[in-house]
Amino acid sequence: MALLWQKWVDDTHYEVRTAGHTRRLYSNGVFHSQYNPTRAHAAGVWDLLVLPALFRPTTRIRRVLVLGVGGGSVLHLLHRFVQPEHIVGIELNAIHLQVAREFFGIEEGMAELHRADAVDWLRAYRGPPFDMIIDDLFGNQDLDLGRAVPADSVWCTTLLENLTEHGVLVMNFIGTRALRGCACLRDEALARHIKSAFQLELQAYENAIGAFLGHPAQARNLRENIRGLPGLGRLDFAIRRL
């Protein structure tokens, strides 16, 4: 891969590298985001963060909150395959937002972007609920098997309180064990609000994506809807009910 751009901020080394048309964001060697303007999907875990929107017709997903924008891979996928009316993106790292705008094609108007701590921002939020919340909060320091915010009862309650009744909550974990420890599954009071839960995985990644739905669903519903979208039909992923 060729080095396109790099910058040191304190003790963090940021890089944007290219491989063909693909651009990748790294910080201290950690792979954060990937974007290829010539390909429909991101060919990575970012696809799995968006796929749960397709359990139902995407017209039901009008407002989306993305916690952890990174380079903006998820924003591109939402625009292409879901087309919500409004996307709000929260990102603490100013360099990530700079890279998203300068190298990953995130243009003004694609999303309402805020540089903020996701936990503080959501706890202070008083606007309408979201039809979909994507929690991709990771840091270079492991607090909870890779997550920057532990998926405990307090945090999961905050997420669900800002989700519509039939909304979709998607959370990124490192491995099945971490996902199965999520309060959305283990806290009985919270689990009553979830009508269906699934785990999505890609063979090349250790991430386990949790999809928590406020409506009944079957894995075949998702696969049928994906087959109708050009560019996603060949996405080879595994899905299991939780």
What is the CATH classification number for the domain harbouring 236? 3.40.50.150
DSSP string, 60-123: G--EEEEE--TTSHHHHHIIIII--SEEEEEES-HHHHHHHHHTS---TTS-EEEES-HHHHHH
DSSP category for residue 205: -
> Would you state the pLDDT for residue 126?
95
The counts of H helices and E strands in the chain are: 9, 12
DSSP category for residue 237: -
Q: Is residue 2 part of a domain?
A: no
Number of domains in the chain: 1
Q: What single-letter amino acid sits at 104?
A: F
Q: Is residue 221 part of a domain?
A: yes
Q: What single-letter amino acid sits at 150?
A: P
Task: State the residue range of the domain holding 171.
Answer: 41-241
Q: Is residue 1 part of a domain?
A: no
Q: Is residue 181 part of a domain?
A: yes
> Would you state the pLDDT for residue 199?
98
Q: Is residue 166 part of a domain?
A: yes
Q: Is residue 172 part of a domain?
A: yes
Per-residue pLDDT of the chain (242 residues; tens, 9 = 90+): 899 999 999 999 999 999 899 999 998 888 888 989 888 787 789 999 999 999 987 788 999 999 999 999 999 999 999 999 999 999 999 999 999 999 999 998 999 999 999 999 999 999 999 999 999 998 654 444 478 999 999 999 999 999 999 999 999 999 999 999 999 999 999 999 999 999 999 998 999 999 999 999 999 999 999 887 877 767 789 999 99
Q: Is residue 184 part of a domain?
A: yes
Q: Is residue 123 part of a domain?
A: yes
Report yes or no: 27 and 13 within 8 Å, Cβ to Cβ. yes
169 Cβ contact partners less than 8 Å away, ≥ 6 residues apart: 132, 133, 135, 159, 160, 163, 184, 210, 211, 212, 213
> Would you state the pLDDT for residue 53?
96
Can you give the C-alpha Rg of the chain in angstroms? Answer: 17
233 Cβ contact partners less than 8 Å away, ≥ 6 residues apart: 226, 227
Length of the chain: 242
> Would you state the pLDDT for residue 233?
62
